[in-house]
Amino acid sequence: MKEDKDRSHAKWEEWLELSQYGELSDADQRQLDVHLESCQRCRTFRNELNQFRMVMEQAAPASPGETDLLDARANLWSNLTLGRPEHRLPGGWLSRFVDGLQGLTISVFPQYRTVLAGALLLFVGLAGGYYLAFQDGRTPGFAVPGMGQTDLLSNEDVAISNVRFVDSDVPDGTLGIRFEAVRPVQIMGPVDDPDIQRVLTFAVLNEQNPGVRLRAVNAVSASEGLQSDHEIRDALVTALKTDSNAGVRGEAFNALSRYPFDEEIRDAMIHTLVFDENPALRINAINRLQDQVPASFDEQLESVLRTRMVLDDNAYIRTKARTVLSNLAAP
């Protein structure tokens, strides 16, 4: 019986603990209040909880005042921006200035201590950062081909990002900084120039703007003599299979039409016929495959044509697939 009674009180004791921290719902709190009126055991437990909470509050460390917080923030920013003693400014004038301004903030403008403290910390951070970044003899840990370090940092066309600190604990007091410097580059030349081709290939495969990808494919398609370049051909095949823009895929198809028909282009045509959502591209793909039959005909192509003959939602493609298979089956 005693065990059953203990189990029945476990709920009320748990509710008493939740009630201490305001975590009990209004409905449960009303039930608990009613129970406390008739249960001496729970009233005793509530008193013990109150005493325990009082002892814990008295033993807790005192909350820091605004002056203590201001001192801590000033010391923190001083350490962060000025670093070790060998990194501090000669004569310690900035440290004395900070101490003096801090005393002025506390004694003269007590009602504006929070605002002035923020402004003070901002000034200290900017001043310390400026000193460390532009002190004589700095040696940034990077190099850019064709451009010196001074030219790089003073060039308005260079965008600096992803700054990281390296070797910040070097004994001689120097500071290593690593960052990414992006500089716009402009090149000019004929389409068959190797550098132009590399940029076009990159644009076809990686450029986020579909308009730029489309212009890159158009440049390749309009050029003479690129049909022997395998890298560009591979980029066009990839664009035809994977590009999210139907216009880019269509121009890639037109450009590939100027290349000699081989196994990779044949596989790209089959991929387009099976997976492309654009019916015009699927029609162009089956027409080009038909032009290469029977030289490129095999079991894979036969299986694709039979599937398209039944499942394709475009009537022209279903009819074309049936026609190709019928012509091959004719004696």
Q: 308 pLDDT exceeds 80?
A: yes
* 113, 49: one domain: no
Q: 175 pLDDT exceeds 80?
A: no
User: Residue 283: pLDDT band by 50, 70, 90 thresholds?
Assistant: very high
243 touches 211 (CB < 8 A)? no
* 20, 105: one domain: no
* 241, 311: one domain: yes
Quick check: pTM over 0.85?
Answer: no
The set of residues, in sequence order, having a beta carbon less than 8 Å from that of 309 and lying 6+ positions away, is 318, 321, 322, 325
Q: 282 pLDDT exceeds 80?
A: yes
Mean pLDDT computed over every residue of the chain:
74
Residue 254: CA atoms inside 13 Å, Cβ hemisphere, count?
A: 14
User: Residue 325: pLDDT band by 50, 70, 90 thresholds?
Assistant: confident
Residue 98 is part of which domain span? 66-134
How far is CA 267 from each of CA 42, 119, 135, 163, 200, rounded to the nearest angstrom? 80, 66, 61, 45, 23
Tell which of 91, 111, 134 closes a domain: 134
Q: 186 pLDDT exceeds 60?
A: yes
- The mean-pLDDT minimum among 41-45, 54-58, 100-104 falls in 100-104
User: Residue 273: pLDDT band by 50, 70, 90 thresholds?
Assistant: very high
Q: Is 182 exposed, middle or buried (0-12, 13-18, 19+ CB in 10 A)?
A: exposed
Top pLDDT among 121 and 87 is at 121
Tell which of 30, 59, 88 closes a domain: 59
Query: The domain spanning residue 266 has which CATH number?
Result: 1.25.10
Over range 130-151, report the average pLDDT: 49
φ, ψ at 319 (rounded to 5°): -65, -40
Top pLDDT among 26 and 229 is at 26
* 55, 155: one domain: no
* 146, 241: one domain: no
* 317, 243: one domain: yes
* 227, 299: one domain: yes
pLDDT value at position 330? Answer: 59
User: Residue 250: pLDDT band by 50, 70, 90 thresholds?
Assistant: very high
Q: 240 pLDDT exceeds 90?
A: yes
Angle at 107 between CA 105 and CA 113, to 5 degrees: 35
* 177, 286: one domain: no
Over range 27-31, report the average pLDDT: 85
User: Residue 13: pLDDT band by 50, 70, 90 thresholds?
Assistant: confident
Q: Bridge partners of 24?
A: none
pLDDT value at position 170? Answer: 57
pLDDT value at position 301? Answer: 85
- The mean-pLDDT minimum among 125-134, 271-280, 283-292, 318-327 falls in 125-134
pLDDT tens track for 69-102: 666 666 665 555 444 444 444 445 555 555 555 5
What is the spatial distance between Cα 166 and Cα 180, in angstroms, rounded to a whole number?
A: 14
- The mean-pLDDT minimum among 23-27, 39-43, 114-118, 166-170 falls in 114-118
* 226, 286: one domain: yes
Over range 119-144, report the average pLDDT: 52
CA 210 to chain centroid, in Å, comes to 21
- The mean-pLDDT minimum among 1-5, 46-50, 62-66 falls in 1-5
* 76, 124: one domain: yes
Tell which of 91, 108, 134 closes a domain: 134
Q: How many domains does the chain have?
A: 4
* 126, 27: one domain: no
* 199, 299: one domain: yes
